[in-house]
Structures are given as structure tokens and as C-alpha cells.
A and B are shown apart, each in its own frame.
Chain A
Amino acid sequence: MSFINYSSREINCKIVYYGPGLCGKTTNLQFIYTKTNPDLKGKMISLATETERTLFFDFLPLALGQIRGFKTRFHLYTVPGQVFYDASRKLILKGVDGVVFVADSQIERMEANLESIDNLKVNLREQGYELDKIPFVIQYNKRDLPNAAPLDELRRQLNPSGVQDFEASATTGEGVFETLKAVAKTVLSDLKRLSR
């Protein structure tokens, strides 16, 4: 849940990057981290195993600027993608304001994508959220790989409700900021809607 602090005139929102193991959630955050002005970002934290698989979460605080005199900050989190870390994923979804689902475009990962998006729905429901009622965007990552599934096929399988979606290659950064901007805008629009 967003936190509005009148004393420091700040608004903080939490965005979670979700998706199957090795789909590029951490790579998204790393790219954002390396390309953001040092004044606008905090330290990036990665709680990872020795083989650099996310163990608990990655965390990156970002300042976007001011709206009506309020500093707008986004806290970006990733979840561990591997199936057996489900307990940790549930914890990270607590208090979420917006979700990015990072899909792995490789054709052989379609099953893992579907399993992960179902898991997202189940875990959100446990927290009292419905995926189609919260700010949500999809990123089809690894579009640069030769074994990437056609975009139409990914859309048909993963995005039947037609939320905003983006093609990306997180290692080169293509589509990374477009995805972030889209989810941040949706979160802010949602806050506006809820406060009316």
C-alpha cells in the first residue's frame, strides 16, 4: 500500500516484478539501476544465492520527481522466480501497489510463464487482491533470442484481458524503461482514482 507522508511531503509506492525463474526480473532492476541518475536512486539490494539466483528479493528505491509538491518515490522489488520459493514470493507481494509480470519469450518457457502467472493470481488473492483490479503490465522479455515465441502467441496465452504489454530485452535495456513508466503511471492513476 502506498504511504503518503504529509510531514516529509513524500509518497511511496511499491512495485513488484514477478515471473518465472531466470526470466530477467533482476536484470530489469539492474538495468534501471545502472541507467538512473545517482541522485534519484538508492542502493540496490540483492538477496541472492552464491550462484546469483534471487533468494528472497531485490530492492531498488527510485525517486521520480514531484507531483503537487510531493516527492514521488517508487520501491521496486523482484520476487525469487524458482517454484519452491513460493513462501517468499507471498511475503513480497504484501502491500503491493503495482505488478510487472516479466515473461520469458523463449518458446520452451511458455509452460513456466503460465504456471507463474497462475501462481501470481493465487498469491495475490491470498492477500486480498485481484490481478485484474490492481495496476498490472506485462513485459515479454528476451525478444532478441532466436527461440522467442511469436508475440501473438505470447499475447494470446498470457494477456487475454489485454493489459498494457511491452517487448523487451533486459540485457540490452530495450523496453525496460517503457515497462517501468507504464506501471508507474498506472499506479499513480489508480491512486488518483481511489482518492476521489
Chain B
Amino acid sequence: MMDTQLVMYEEDFKKILAVIQRLVRDANAKGIFVVDKNGQLIAEAGEVRGIDTTSLASLTAGSIAATGGLAKIIGEDDFPVHFHQGARDNLHITLVGGRIILVVVFDDRSSLGLVRLRVKKAGTEMGKIFEDIQKKAESEAATGTSTSPFAEITDDDIDNLFSE
């Protein structure tokens, strides 16, 4: 099955941001990233300065894709939770609703148990938000009420991007 295009409106974005900002506090995390399975960064919260977020998003998606492939080889659907332990910082990565990846960066101010517990609750909330986004996209597609900015662009708009 092909994915539908992901369209994120301001109100959905605010809901996601609220969930991850709370998760940063509840889990004592350093930073949190929400990444699309195709490698695009959707939202971030916490101490994320100095982190190359575009690369983080692309590599996270690559890693999830690779381990998902491994899962299928041994007869599993997916490995929905990943934990990477470092000398100072750790990564906790969760697949939400099969499409979104929640990345939590934490250090010894928190613990794996706490992160796991808090991520579980936040993951459920986030799953619900993305389900609504998906439903909205599907109903827009079905009724033809999509408001994509691309509906109005002209060939000149596209050419202008390459005019330099």
C-alpha cells in the first residue's frame, strides 16, 4: 500500500508539540523528536540546540527501516521499541501507529524505566493525533476539499525556483 501524503496543519502541530513538551518534563528527557517514517522531522522539544535534526531524522528513519526489515526476516511484524545506550546520552526510539517515530534523548538525570513508562502514555496520545490527521487527509482526498498549496502554483512558480 502506498502512504497518503502527510499534511500537517497548525492545530495538529500544536497538539503534537504539547504532548512532547510534557513528555520532556515527565520523563526528565534532554530532547524529543517526532520523525516521519520516511525520514522527515515533524516536531522537536527540549534541549535540541546543536543537534543536526535533519540528519537525526533521516538516520532514525533508516535505522527503523533496517530493523523493520530484520524483524520481517525472523517472522516479526516490526520491532516497535529500540534502546541505544551511550556513555552519557541514550536514545529511546518508539514506533507509533506504524508511521511515526518518537525519539527520546536522555541522560542519567532520567532512567530507562521512567522513559519507557512516560513514552507509553505519550505514544498513545500521539497515535490518536496522527490517526485524526490521517482521517482528515483521507476525507479531504475523498471529497476533493484538499487545500494543498500546490493546487494553485503555476509552471512559472516552479521555473522561478531554478532561475538563479
Binding site for B on A (CB under 8 A): 1-8, 11-12, 14, 42-43, 45, 47, 56-57, 59, 61, 64-65, 67-70, 72, 75, 87-88, 90-92, 94-95, 127-129, 181, 184-185, 188-189, 191-192, 194-196
B143: CB under 8 A from chain A? no
- Given A6-B7, A6-B10, answer yes or no on A47-B62 (Cβ-Cβ < 8 Å): yes
User: What would be 8 A-B contacts, judged by CB atoms less than 8 Å apart?
Assistant: A3-B6, A3-B40, A6-B7, A61-B58, A67-B150, A91-B65, A185-B158, A192-B151
Comparing B18-26, B31-39, B110-118, the segment that makes contact with chain A is B31-39
Contact A42 B52 (CB under 8 A): yes
Residue of chain A at shortest CB distance from B154: A192
Q: Which of B3, B9, B58 contacts A7 (CB 8 A)?
A: B9
Contact A67 B149 (CB under 8 A): yes
Q: How far is the CA of A180 from the CA of B149 in the complex (A)?
A: 23
- Given A67-B157, A67-B161, A91-B62, answer yes or no on A14-B69 (Cβ-Cβ < 8 Å): no
Q: How far is the CA of A2 from the CA of B7 in the complex (A)?
A: 9
Contact B155 A189 (CB under 8 A): yes
- Across-interface contacts of A91 in B (CB, < 8 A): 62, 65-66, 68-69
B153: CB under 8 A from chain A? yes
B81: CB under 8 A from chain A? no
Contact A43 B52 (CB under 8 A): yes
Contact B54 A61 (CB under 8 A): yes
Q: Closest 3 interchain pairs by CB? A: A95-B38, A195-B148, A7-B13
Query: Shortest CB–CB separation between residue A111 and chain B, in angstroms?
Result: 27
Binding site for A on B (CB under 8 A): 1-10, 12-14, 36-40, 42, 52, 54-55, 58-59, 62, 65-66, 68-69, 146, 148-153, 155, 157-162
Q: Which of B1, B39, B58, B149 contacts A70 (CB 8 A)?
A: B149
Contact B58 A59 (CB under 8 A): yes
- Across-interface contacts of B62 in A (CB, < 8 A): 47, 56-57, 59, 91-92
Q: Which of B38, B54, B149 contacts A3 (CB 8 A)?
A: B38
- Across-interface contacts of A129 in B (CB, < 8 A): 2
Contact B54 A42 (CB under 8 A): yes
Contact B58 A196 (CB under 8 A): no
Contact B52 A127 (CB under 8 A): no
Contact A7 B149 (CB under 8 A): no
- Across-interface contacts of A4 in B (CB, < 8 A): 5-8, 148-150
- Across-interface contacts of A189 in B (CB, < 8 A): 155, 158
Contact A7 B10 (CB under 8 A): yes
Contact A45 B148 (CB under 8 A): no
Contact A68 B152 (CB under 8 A): yes
Contact B150 A188 (CB under 8 A): yes
- Across-interface contacts of B6 in A (CB, < 8 A): 1-4
Contact A188 B13 (CB under 8 A): no
Query: Shortest CB–CB separation between residue B143 and chain A, in angstroms?
Result: 14
Contact A59 B55 (CB under 8 A): yes
Contact B153 A192 (CB under 8 A): yes
Query: Shortest CB–CB separation between residue A24 and chain B, in angstroms?
Result: 21
Most buried by B among A7, A75, A196: A7
Q: How far is the CA of A56 from the CA of B5 in the complex (A)?
A: 25
- Given A5-B13, A56-B66, A195-B151, answer yes or no on A45-B59 (Cβ-Cβ < 8 Å): yes
